[in-house]
Homo-oligomer: A and B are copies of this chain.
Amino acid sequence: MNGAPAGPSRGGRGLAQGEHTAHGACVSETPLGHRRWAIADGYIPRESHGPEPEMTSHETASILNASGHDAHVRFTIYFADREPAGPYEVTVPARRTRHVRFNDLNDPEPIPLGTDFSCVIESDQPIVVQHTRLDSRQAENALITTIAFPA
């Protein structure tokens, strides 16, 4: 938004917002995303059906770091009846994606199952966050997703 592109100016009029490397991949010059995101509806179902780990009930924050720098990301978890937990620290390398399962966040403490929570995600690089839940409490799984809120 407010970042001036580094590197030489482009004379062309084709695609205004990315440069493509020799092997064709886009490297964003202008920041892509936000540094703070929120997910309000967090909930890891207590039960699962189907083969593990693919069909285990889970809650995921998919994080895209399209920048040229590693992103140091911190999760803070909010609850209904106690002080927040965290920060949980995750690194998403430059030009990589990482689909973080909340079930795997154990340090400083595991996130309780069957409990309402919300989450704030902060990064030192612009990132994009999408929230997905696989609910396999019943025989057939249910899936939900939404782009998180860029706060």
Task: Write the residues of chain A forming the contact surface with B, with a CB cutoff of 8 angstroms.
Answer: 13-18, 20, 23-26, 28, 32-33, 35-36, 38-43, 50, 55, 60, 62-64, 66, 72, 74, 76, 78-81, 83-87, 95-99, 108, 116-118, 120, 122-124, 128-133, 135, 137-151
Residues in B with CB closer than 8 Å to A50 are: 138
Known: A87-B20, A151-B128. A26 touches B122 (CB 8 A): yes
Q: Is the interface of A mostly helix, strand, loop or mixed?
A: strand
Not counting A42-B97, A78-B97, a sample of 11 additional A-B residue pairs whose C-beta atoms are within 8 angstroms of each other reads A15-B72, A15-B74, A18-B122, A25-B84, A84-B95, A97-B118, A130-B146, A133-B145, A135-B141, A141-B142, A143-B143
Q: How many copies make up the complex?
A: 4
